[in-house]
Amino acid sequence: MGSKLTFKIKEPMRTAYLIIKMPPPSSLRHTLIPNRKFANEITQACLDQCNNGVDFLKLIDRKCKYNKKKIMKKIRPKKIPNELLNRLLNTEEEDDTLQVVKEYWKEKAEECQGDLLYGRLQKAFKFMKSVTKYHEFKRRDGSIINKVKKNDGSTTADPDEVNKLVLDHLKSVQTSTSEPQYLNYVPFPTLETFSSNEMDYILSKLFNGKAIASDAVSDILFSKANKPVTATKLADIWKGT
C-alpha cells in the first residue's frame, strides 16, 4: 500500500501531468526521552544521602546502573491532522494542485478573519501564531542568514560562500592569537574546594526548569530549596579526590 499524488502543471499552450508514487511511511510507534520524574527522584535522594561531591557522583552512578530502563521513557507521538495533505490526496487527476493549495489557505485566512470579527480571539490568534510565527519576530534576529556583505562592499547570496564567510567571521571573533589553543589532550585540572561564597555565587547564576539530559542528573539541584544544600555538599565536586 502507498499513496499516489497526481500534479497538474499548467503552462501556456500545454498541460502536463506528473504522477508521484510514495511508499507508505514507516510506523513510528514511540520515541525515547529523558525521564524527568525519575531524574528528580534519584537526584534528590542522592543529594540527601551524600556527604560531598564525590559521594553524590558515586550514588548517581550506582542508581543509574541499577535502574537503566527507567532513565529514559517511551512516549507516543501525537497524531497531527494535516488537512491540506488530505485534500491533495483526495483531489482528482485533472485538478490543479497549485490552485487547491491556494484555495485551502484562502479558506483558512477567511476563517481567521471571521474568528476575529465574531470575538473568537483565542482561536484566531492560535492560528496566526502557528502559521505566521508573529510572536517570535523580535527573537529571530537573523537566525537565517542568506546574504552577506563582503569586505570589498559587494554582496553574495551563494549558500556555500555565505556559510564560509559566516563561519570565518565567527572564528575570528571567538578566537584570539593572544590566548592559548589546546590542540592536544589536556587532563582536567584538580581545583581547590570552592568556598561557600564562591558556591553561592555560582549557584546564583544557575536556574532549574531547563531540559535534562540522559545522565539522570536533574536540575532540581538548583531549585530554591536545594541551593543551600548543593552549595554545602557539592563544593568539592571539582577536586576529583
Q: How far apart are the first and last CA of the chain?
A: 61
Kindly list the domain boundaries of the chain, sorted by start residue. Answer: 3-29+78-138, 35-75+190-233, 148-174
pLDDT per position as a tens digit, 182-193: 778 888 777 777
Three cell numbers at 58? 558515586
Q: Is the pLDDT of residue 37 over 90?
A: yes
pLDDT per position as a tens digit, 82-102: 888 888 888 776 667 888 888
Q: Is the pLDDT of residue 22 over 80?
A: no
Mean pLDDT of 142-158: 77
Position 213 scores a pLDDT of 85
Position 142 scores a pLDDT of 46
Position 83 scores a pLDDT of 85
Mean pLDDT of 102-129: 87
Angle at 57 between CA 53 and CA 62, to 5 degrees: 145
Cα distances from 11 to residues 6, 7, 17, in angstroms, run: 16, 13, 11
Mean pLDDT of 71-86: 82
Rg (CA), the chain: 28
19: part of which helix (H) or strand (E)?
Answer: strand 14-22
Contact between 191 and 234 under an 8 Å Cβ cutoff? The reply is no
Question: Residue written as cell 499516489?
Answer: 4
Position 25 scores a pLDDT of 60
